[in-house]
Amino acid sequence: MNKTIEVTDLGYKDYKETWDYQESLFKGIVDIKIKNRRDGTEIVTPNYFLFVEHPHVYTLGKSGDVENLLVNEQQLKEKDATYYKINRGGDITYHGPGQIVGYPILDLDNFFTDIHKYLRFLEEVIILTLAEFGLKGERSPGETGVWLDVGTPFARKICAMGIRASRWVT
């Protein structure tokens, strides 16, 4: 099992270009796993964590509703924003300048095969990272992601999460 994670800062990059790169890494891991099962080989699968900053973009996950996109096509153009329907979980998410986005592309067979545990682990990483910056991130009961000021009228999400997994590859 390979528990090493290759971390890459992609800088400021277009969403579609980043998505295509993620898909190629994802496919590479899945292809290795298929080959290992088919041929009885034990090729080690890699793990990646990409960091990137995107221009204005809205993404709609599989469980999302386009009605939740509160701007029309003309407004997207005026904001120089793009929109993509993608195959991750979750609803609509905005990414834009000044926001650092993390994309873990992991073979969970290298760690543990429990999606709920994986989500809680990601939340905990964010909570610990926020604490390093003097912010108190928390989980909100019944919701995925990390929140500030939970239980107050000022509660707001600071970290949204939407994942996709196939053959235990995220």
Report how far residue 90's alpha carbon sits from residue 101's, in angstroms, rounded to the nearest whole number: 15
Give the C-alpha distances (Å, rounded to integers) separating 31 from 23, 34, 103, 159: 12, 5, 19, 31
**CA distance linking residue 46 with residue 55, whole number of Å:** 28
Handedness of CA 129, 97, 104, 7 (dihedral sign): negative
**Phi, psi (5° rounding) for residue 74?**
-65, -45
Q: How far apart are CA 96 and CA 58, in angstroms?
A: 9
Burial class (CB in 10 A: 0-12, 13-18, 19+), 34: exposed
pTM: 0.88
Full DSSP string of 68-79: G--S-HHHHHHT
In this structure, are residues 160 and 103 in contact, taking their beta carbons and an 8 Å threshold? no
Alpha helices in the chain (DSSP H): 15-39, 73-78, 115-132
Per-residue model confidence (pLDDT) at position 86: 83
CA end-to-end distance (rounded Å), the chain: 16
pLDDT of residue 39: 98
Q: d(Cα 15, Cα 144) in Å, to the nearest integer?
A: 23
SS3 32: helix
The residue assigned the tokens 């990409």 is: 50
Per-residue pLDDT of the chain (170 residues; tens, 9 = 90+): 899 999 999 999 999 999 999 999 999 999 999 999 999 999 999 999 999 999 999 888 877 777 777 888 788 888 888 888 888 777 888 899 999 999 999 999 999 999 999 999 999 999 999 999 999 999 998 999 999 999 999 999 999 888 889 999 99
